[in-house]
Amino acid sequence: MRKPALLLVTLLAGAGLGRGEIKTLQNAPIEITSTGETTYENGLATARDNVAIHVGDTDIYADYAQYNSSTHEVDLRGHVRIYHDKPTAANPNQHPNKYNAEAPGNESSFYVGDSGIYNIDTKQFRATNMRTESQPYFLSGQQVTEISENAYVIQNGTFTTHDAPNPNFHLQARRIRVYEHDRVIFLYVTLYIGKVPVFWWPYMYQSLNDAFSFTVSPAFLSSWGPSLLTQVTFPITDNIKGRIRLDYMGRRGPAIGFEPTIEYGKDNNSLARIKSYYLQDQNPSINRTGLPRGPVPTGRYRLSLEDRTNFTDDIYGIANLTKLSDAFVMQDFFLQEFRIDPVPDNVVAVTKKDPFYTLTATARFQANNFFDTTERLPDIALDIKRHALFGGPIFYEGETSFADLRLQFAKDSGFENYGTTRLDTFHQLLYPNTYFGWLSIVPRVGFRTTYYGDTRDLGKTMFTPDPNPLVPDFLLPNPTLANPIAFGGDTFRTVFNTGAEASFKVSRTWENVQSRALGLDGLLHVIQPFTNFSYVSENGADPRSILQFDRFQPSTQLRAIDFPQFTQIDSIDSWTVWRLGVRNRLETRRDDTTITWFELDSFLDVNFDNPYNRADYSNFFNNIRFTPLPWMSFSVNSQVPAFAKGFTEVNTIATVQPTANVQLNFGHRYLNDNPFFDNSSLFVVGGYCRINDNWGVGVQEQYEAATSTLEEQRYSVYRDLSNWVASFGGVIRDNAGVKEYGLLFTVTLKAFPKIGVDLNFDPTSQGQ
């Protein structure tokens, strides 16, 4: 318990009360109490048994204490405990006392030892066999010396985050310098797991914030061999943080990388990340898939920049640049990023934002000639946001752009590059309104005109339309070097569009529907029929003559039939499409809010004239989402050719947690008769079981029934080690006929994850 400082020193004996006044060099008031014998002779105040000393923001407890009024030092012996409160930088004027010692803005240091010497004026101490606690870490040592406020040196010390007499891990160092809430520096340090030494460093720097970390990651992958991945993250300046990677892969060789992160600009609100990685690949011909490859260089690298610069509050720039040594370096060494973005972009853009418009200037170029790229040098676009004209009921939206475009095919692909300039402008008026108090109708009318500096001469182009109604007529093959493109000069194209959206809602309530098992507290059924009619007339140029840049991309989903949502400018053709459907929702009350218990969306397109689907009707879509309970969810997104020729797709996802310790996941993708994608019947099943407080197991299987291929297997066992969480598992992948194997071992420090041992087959995933 902390007591308020007094203006004089009180020596309180067990049988009587004596008073005397002592002032320190800085005139600091001191209070000394004890339950045993106390004396004051020749400037030495001695107290025994349950001694308590209170001076300023420091409380000291010991079995024996002797205060020297000339040196202002207190000699402490036996069960020494020192509590030192100090204001933080955020609250430098807040001083602790019995009313505010635990108030926000104060930090406390706690020291426990056998003996020590504490200086009242400098607030520095020297101690033997002392330990200190500063969450989330604990320090102890044979000798502890405070070298300045919030800094001390420990000889033959230990560092751990495990709050136990016998921690399951600790760092043992000959000398430790601690700067509270900042950093710890170790000399000649050994990492112990239990009582077993596992690693030794001559020097180690560990930040107590997120600016520094050190990670060692053992790994094994069949395409890498036994590997050791290491990274050190450290501050370079207050606004620059760097990360160095030093990796060794048994079958590949050594690798090095440097990744700085830079905060800059006004209030440091701009950010740049640079990633570099280089290795001299000893086996570049290793192919982790069954797909054929061309020659791969031995010197393999990746250099990328991600930047966002905020010039002003409404003007910002972005840069996403990536230079690669070859087309397969991301797939071989950065698998996580490759799965998300297999073809990294190279684009620089500056954007001006305004409540009414957005103005963007973009430059996109081909930095890696083994990838197809649509270059835009430049592309300037002005988007006018939807807003009421002069505050009236009619709304306007539009977009205008100018671009110098060039489609650059991959080197040695055999295709011929082509390009043109394009000026495009679009304007649309809308009149949203509600009729009869329940019917919402939004009619629209728009006009677009586009100028192309060059086109394709159809009179010199041989093309046989695909008989499949899902393949557009204008989807011409790319020009080749053997059959180059025949240009037909410039052209103007105009597009007129009109249409209307309409919807209304009908609802009914059943308050008596109550079921705890199904999570029902009343039921509200909402039915919302909706429709969207779209008419587009393209004039001036045959769509097949338009050079394709913003072009048709194969998809299993319905395309937007509105502008500007339809973004494939160069693939615009005349269409008349009527989309209609109905949305059913069942809603209930839960936790003082309304949730959607069940939802079913059903819709289809009636194709009076649709260049992207020449059948009379589109597939019939049904999207179901069912969440009866917080621990159970189920969804099915399906489309079937109910009224005309088409394809079938059914995607199912189910998650259930029947008990607190078991979670099961199921997913299935079924695709059949799509002209652009292979047939598929992919099953993904997995789950996690927490056996008890210390053990858990996880499993995941991915099976492609269309090819009878077990594509991936993952098995893992988890062990809670109190202060750590360890897991061990294996993975087997079938990459287009090539088997890939790996072992995973991870150890995560729960309380202080900046120091840890981790394993991952993808070096880019470390620290992300």
pLDDT in tens, 549-576: 998 888 999 999 999 999 999 999 999 9
Q: Residue 658 to residues 123, 595, 664, 668, 686: CA-CA distances in angstroms? A: 58, 21, 8, 20, 14
Q: What is the pLDDT of residue 634?
A: 95
| Domains of the chain listed by start with CATH number | 9-215 (2.60.450.10)
Q: CB atoms < 10 A from the CB of 312, how many?
A: 9
Q: What is the pLDDT of residue 189?
A: 87
Q: What is the mean pLDDT of residues 450-469?
A: 82
76/763 Cα distance (integer angstroms): 52
pLDDT of 753 > 80? The answer is: no
Q: Which two tokens stand for residue 459?
A: 């009179």
Q: What is the pLDDT of residue 403?
A: 97
pLDDT of 182 > 80? The answer is: no
pLDDT of 99 > 50? The answer is: no
Q: What is the pLDDT of residue 462?
A: 66
The alpha carbon torsion through 93, 97, 103, 104 (nearest 10 deg) reads 30
Q: Contact, 487 vs 461, CB < 8 A?
A: no
Q: Contact, 59 vs 52, CB < 8 A?
A: yes
Least confident of 207-211, 308-312, 583-587: 207-211
Backbone dihedral region for residue 437 (phi beyond 0: left; psi -120 to 50: alpha; all else: beta): left
618/648 Cα distance (integer angstroms): 11
Beta strand residue intervals within 610-708, DSSP E? 620-629, 632-640, 648-659, 662-672, 680-690, 695-704
pLDDT of 4 > 50? The answer is: no
Q: What is the mean pLDDT of residues 194-211?
A: 74
**pLDDT band, residue 171 (cuts 50/70/90):** confident
**pLDDT band, residue 40 (cuts 50/70/90):** confident
pLDDT of 703 > 60? The answer is: yes
Q: Contact, 357 vs 385, CB < 8 A?
A: yes
Comparing 277 with 123, the larger pLDDT belongs to 277
Q: Which residues partner with 134 through β-bridges?
A: 137
Q: What is the pLDDT of residue 133?
A: 62
Contact partners, residue 455, CB within 8 Å, separation at least 6: 420, 487, 488, 489, 490, 491, 541, 545, 546, 547
Least confident of 114-118, 274-278, 657-661, 742-746: 742-746
Contact partners, residue 257, CB within 8 Å, separation at least 6: 243, 244, 245, 247, 275, 276, 277, 278, 763
Q: What is the pLDDT of residue 766?
A: 46
Q: What is the pLDDT of residue 297?
A: 95
Bridge-based pairing of strands 347-353 and 357-364 is antiparallel
Q: Which residues partner with 447 through β-bridges?
A: 427, 496
Q: Which two tokens stand for residue 696?
A: 């858990």
Least confident of 179-188, 326-335, 362-371: 179-188
Q: Contact, 55 vs 30, CB < 8 A?
A: yes
Average pLDDT, whole number, for the chain?
84
Taking Cα atoms as reference points, which of 655, 649, 679, 680 lies closest to residue 667?
A: 655
Q: What is the pLDDT of residue 463?
A: 65
Comparing 605 with 767, the larger pLDDT belongs to 605
Q: Residue 523 to residues 459, 518, 526, 528: CA-CA distances in angstroms? A: 64, 12, 10, 16
Cα-only R_g, the chain: 36
Q: What is the pLDDT of residue 39?
A: 82
177/186 Cα distance (integer angstroms): 7
What letters, b where the CB count within 10 A reaches 16 and e where it falls short, cover 131-156? bbebebbbbbbebbbbeeebebbbee
Q: Percentage of the chain surpassing pLDDT 70?
A: 86
pLDDT of 693 > 70? The answer is: yes
Q: What is the pLDDT of residue 275?
A: 96
CA 99 to chain centre: 43
What letters, b where the CB count within 10 A reaches 16 and e where it falls short, cover 205-234? ebbbeebbbbbbbbbbbbbbbebebbbebe
Q: Contact, 758 vs 767, CB < 8 A?
A: no
pLDDT of 231 > 90? The answer is: no
334/337 Cα distance (integer angstroms): 6
Q: How many CA atoms lie less than 13 Å away from 309 in the CB half-sphere?
A: 10
User: Which residue in the block uniquely carries the two structure tokens 């099915």?
Assistant: 636
Q: CB atoms < 10 A from the CB of 59, how many?
A: 21
Q: What is the mean pLDDT of residues 723-741?
A: 82
Q: What is the mean pLDDT of residues 110-130?
A: 76
Comparing 551 with 150, the larger pLDDT belongs to 551
**pLDDT band, residue 30 (cuts 50/70/90):** confident
What burial class does residue 235 get, using C-beta atoms within 10 Å of its C-beta: 0-12 exposed, 13-18 middle, 19+ buried? middle
Least confident of 320-334, 468-482, 702-716, 748-762: 748-762
Q: What is the pLDDT of residue 221?
A: 87
The end-to-end CA distance of the chain, in Å, is 44
pLDDT of 458 > 90? The answer is: no
Q: Which amino acid is at 328?
A: F
**pLDDT band, residue 756 (cuts 50/70/90):** very low
Q: Which two tokens stand for residue 186?
A: 């170790």
180/154 Cα distance (integer angstroms): 13
State phi, psi for 160 to the nearest 5 degrees.
Answer: -155, 165
Comparing 106 with 573, the larger pLDDT belongs to 573
DSSP for residue 439:
E
pLDDT of 93 > 60? The answer is: no
Q: How many CA atoms lie less than 13 Å away from 331 in the CB half-sphere?
A: 15
Least confident of 180-184, 516-520, 549-553, 715-719: 180-184
User: Which residue in the block uniquely carries the two structure tokens 């310098």?
Assistant: 177
Comparing 471 with 259, the larger pLDDT belongs to 259
Q: Contact, 767 vs 243, CB < 8 A?
A: yes
Q: CB atoms < 10 A from the CB of 633, how many?
A: 15
pLDDT of 6 > 80? The answer is: no
**pLDDT band, residue 759 (cuts 50/70/90):** very low
pLDDT of 74 > 50? The answer is: yes
**pLDDT band, residue 727 (cuts 50/70/90):** confident
Q: What is the mean pLDDT of residues 193-204?
A: 80
What burial class does residue 171 get, using C-beta atoms within 10 Å of its C-beta: 0-12 exposed, 13-18 middle, 19+ buried? buried
DSSP for residue 517:
T
Comparing 144 with 613, the larger pLDDT belongs to 613
What letters, b where the CB count within 10 A reaches 16 and e where it falls short, cover 366-392? bebebbebbbbebbbbebbeeeeeeee
DSSP for residue 767:
T
Q: What is the pLDDT of residue 135?
A: 56
What letters, b where the CB count within 10 A reaches 16 and e where it falls short, cover 708-739? eeebbebebebeebebbbebebebebbbeeee
